[in-house]
């Protein structure tokens, strides 16, 4: 058992080090500047989102870079959706889906892009969720990123509702993705990971595709793999801030993470052979989160070995050490995120977030044994 634990941990740590060295020593090729965008589209998938979408509309109106109402497209499944009336109130465009039975965000975006390209083309396309709100300078800053020559620009996601430990902890996953990963990747000219919303795609990518053909449960990650394979240049702008709603209850959190994990493995299954063919340039994306999976597995095996060899007291001590490490990691993430939380909520987050991180382990078993895992609406 000790041997298996050592090998697994060693493999995980080795992959982690290799992944980061490849990013740090990546040969940076500065992008070729783009002509300033004369026109851009905004795409908003919005099934039954009338309760929250008006905040996004108001934030679009307050942008320092003018947003043309005729270029904002709200994607709904039925003309009876109350979201349609709000869309008309702001003079935005409504796209009614032709195939609402396909319950994934990627399908909605695909239908919208197909419809738009029939009559108009844009320099770039922004993708937002209905519950987002934007800092007034968000569009302006992202257009500057486009002018620098980047094909994909990723905004800085902040938590819109940091009111419970689950919501705050849920938002910290994007601190890991953006602050610890995408920010480093951008500094070294390496490909970034788009995470759900708050990013743009240039026409250089959209028009040859003729749509948005990324239909796994995590269409954002699938698209990121596609971008890496085709060497599209991406940039994470930590100053382009937008806000996103996080699940406030653990049950919602669990379902969302299980869906993400299923989508992650769906996308990797689709792109695995193509990533292999493009080695060594795709090695970082091929490793993905397998370094963390092996480290987690190694720790589990180590705990089992300690329990067998030294008994239940040693087990409790081992679990306490792992918990303490994750709690300290949470403190680091909260510091990086610069959250201004009331002391009680800060303490609860530090105590609960380690358990939220460990939730990814049972979620993995749900993904393995529940093959019909479906999309579930997260209530705002």
Give the domain CATH number at 93: 3.90.550.10
Angle at 105 between CA 60 and CA 168, to 5 degrees: 65
Contact by Cβ (8 Å): 379, 252: yes
Mention every residue, 6+ apart, whose C-beta is less than 8 A from residue 356: 166, 169, 170, 253
Cα–Cα distances (Å) from 37 to 41, 70, 200, 360, in that order, read 11, 16, 12, 41
Question: Is 60 part of a structural domain of the chain?
Answer: yes
Residue 206 dihedral angles phi and psi, to the nearest 5°: -65, -45
Tokens of 90: 């702001």
| Domain identity same for 13 and 60 | no
In this prediction, residue 365 has a pLDDT band, given cuts at 50, 70 and 90, of confident
Q: Which of 216, 238, 271 finishes a domain?
A: 271
Given a cut of 90, whether residue 29 has pLDDT beyond it is no
Residues 92 and 145 grouped into a single domain = yes
Across 132-141, 276-285, 306-315, 344-353, least confident range:
306-315
In a domain, 182, yes or no: yes
| 100-132 pLDDT per residue, tens | 888 899 999 999 999 999 999 999 999 999 999
- The DSSP output letter for 81 is S
pLDDT band of residue 87 (cuts 50, 70, 90) is very high
Q: pLDDT tens digits for 225-244?
A: 999 999 999 999 999 999 99
Residue 380 is predicted with a pLDDT of 52
- Domain match, 293 and 267 both: no
pLDDT digits (tens, 9 = 90+) for 140-164: 999 999 999 999 999 999 999 999 9
Note whether 12 and 129 are same-domain residues. Answer: no
- 126 and 251 together in one domain: yes
Residues 6+ apart with CB under 8 A from 43: 73, 75, 109, 112, 113, 125, 126, 127, 128
**Predicted local confidence at residue 52, as pLDDT:** 93
Domain membership flag for residue 144:
yes
Distances (CA, A) of 204 to 151, 230, 232: 7, 12, 9
Q: What's phi and psi for 378, nearest 5 deg?
A: -95, 115
Residue with tokens 């987690």: 296
228 with 121, same domain: the answer is yes
Residue 351's domain spans which residues? 2-20+289-369
Rounded average pLDDT over 133-143: 97
Q: Quick check: is 25 in a domain?
A: no
Same domain, 190 and 138: yes
Residue 161 and residue 97 share a domain: yes
Q: Are residues 46 and 172 in the same domain?
A: yes
Verify that 8 and 132 share a domain, yes or no: no
Domains of the chain: total: 2
**Residue 373 — very low, low, confident or very high, per pLDDT cuts 50/70/90?**
low
Q: Provide the pLDDT for residue 4.
A: 81
Are 45 and 109 spatial neighbours (Cβ–Cβ below 8 Å)?
yes
Among 210, 238, 271, the domain boundary falls at 271
CA distances from 16 to 27, 174, 191, 290, 330 (A): 19, 19, 17, 9, 19
pLDDT at res. 368: 77
| pLDDT score at 38 | 85
The residue-averaged pLDDT of 321-332 equals: 95
Average pLDDT, the chain: 92
How many CB atoms within 10 Å of residue 78?
12
- Identify whether residues 306 and 252 lie together within a single domain: no
Confidence of residue 305 (pLDDT cuts 50, 70, 90): confident
Do 373 and 366 meet the contact criterion of CB atoms below 8 Å apart?
Answer: yes
Least confident span in 72-76, 153-157, 224-228, 299-303: 299-303
- Residue 37, judged by CB atoms within 10 A of its CB (0-12, 13-18, 19+), counts as middle
What mean pLDDT is predicted for residues 265-276?
93
Supply the pLDDT for residue 3: 77
Report whether pLDDT(24) > 70.
Answer: yes
| Alpha helices for the chain (secondary structure H) | 2-24, 53-61, 83-89, 105-117, 138-147, 165-174, 183-187, 203-209, 219-229, 250-277, 283-287, 290-310, 312-337, 343-358, 360-369
**What 8-state DSSP symbol labels residue 120?**
-
Q: Is 239 left (phi over 0), alpha (psi -120 to 50) or beta?
A: alpha
């Amino acid at each position: 058992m000790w041997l298996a634990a050592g090998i697994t941990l060693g493999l995980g740590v080795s992959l982690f080090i290799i992944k980061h060295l490849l990013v740090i020593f990546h040969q940076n090729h500065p992008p070729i500047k783009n002509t300033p965008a004369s026109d851009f589209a905004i795409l908003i998938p919005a099934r039954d989102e009338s309760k929250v979408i008006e905040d996004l509309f108001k934030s679009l109106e307050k942008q320092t870079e003018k947003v043309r109402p005729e270029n904002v497209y709200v994607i709904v499944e039925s003309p009876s959706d109350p979201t349609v009336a709000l869309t008309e109130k702001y003079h935005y465009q409504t796209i009614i889906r032709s195939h609402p039975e396909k319950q994934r965000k990627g399908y909605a975006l695909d239908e919208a892009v197909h419809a738009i390209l029939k009559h108009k083309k844009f320099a770039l396309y922004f993708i937002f969720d209905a519950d987002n709100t934007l800092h007034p300078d968000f569009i302006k800053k992202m257009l500057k990123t486009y002018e620098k020559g980047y094909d994909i620009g990723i905004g800085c996601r902040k938590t819109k509702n940091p009111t419970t430990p689950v919501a705050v902890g849920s938002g910290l996953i994007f601190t890991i993705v953006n602050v610890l990963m995408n920010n480093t990747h951008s500094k070294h000219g390496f490909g970034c990971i788009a995470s759900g919303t708050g990013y743009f795609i240039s026409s250089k990518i959209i028009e040859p595709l003729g749509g948005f053909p990324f239909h796994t449960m995590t269409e954002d990650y699938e698209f990121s793999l596609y971008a890496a394979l085709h060497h599209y240049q991406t940039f994470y702008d930590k100053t382009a801030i937008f806000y996103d709603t996080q699940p406030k209850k653990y049950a919602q959190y669990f379902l969302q993470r299980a869906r993400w994990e299923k989508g992650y493995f769906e996308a990797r299954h689709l792109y695995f052979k193509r990533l292999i063919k493009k080695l060594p340039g795709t090695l970082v994306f091929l490793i993905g989160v397998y370094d963390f999976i092996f480290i987690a597995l190694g720790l589990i095996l180590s705990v089992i070995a300690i329990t067998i060899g030294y008994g239940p007291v040693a087990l409790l001590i081992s679990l306490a050490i792992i918990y303490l490490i994750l709690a300290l990691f949470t403190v680091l993430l909260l510091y990086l995120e610069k959250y201004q939380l009331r002391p009680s909520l800060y303490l609860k987050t530090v105590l609960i977030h380690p358990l939220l991180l460990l939730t990814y382990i049972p979620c993995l078993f749900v993904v393995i044994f529940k093959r019909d895992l479906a999309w579930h609406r997260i209530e705002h």
